[in-house]
Amino acid sequence: MIRSDFEKTKQDYLAGHRLNYGHLNGCSSRTIAQSLACLTIISRLRCIVEDPMTEAEKRLREYLAKIGRRGGLAGRRELTRSHAKQMVAIREAKRAALKAGRPWPPRNRKALKVS
């Protein structure tokens, strides 16, 4: 009689995985969820221990961190109150021009007066 995956018992499930994952031998009294959590943790630890970063990868990671930090510092700006007011005035002028059916940006930008 063939059982579906949903009908497998915990012991059948773990027995199938013991062939591939020897560290699950002590997990027979645990639930399937606990066993999978155990498997995930051990797999991640194996990646950390067995696959250390090469020197080139370390240098690359340091370089990317450095340029990311530099870009973040350059991207920050302080907006003065007067500059913020000018930006709002330009935005309102654009909205009014488009609502009136006039082209934006205006053809003669010098004629545009922002107060």
Note the pLDDT tens digit of each residue in 27-60: 455 566 666 666 666 666 665 555 566 788 888 8
The dihedral over CA atoms of 35, 38, 44, 47, expressed in degrees to the nearest 10, equals: -90
Task: Return the top range by mean pLDDT from 14-18, 62-66, 90-94.
Answer: 90-94
The token duo for 14 is: 């773990």
Cα distance between residue 60 and residue 86, in whole Å: 42
For 7, 59, 61, 74, the CA distances from 70, given in Å and listed in that order, are 56, 16, 14, 6
Q: What is the pLDDT of residues 13-31, one digit of tens each?
A: 556 655 555 554 554 555 6
The residue ranges of every structural domain in the chain are 7-50, 79-115
Under a CB-based contact definition with an 8 Å cutoff, are residues 24 and 3 in contact?
no
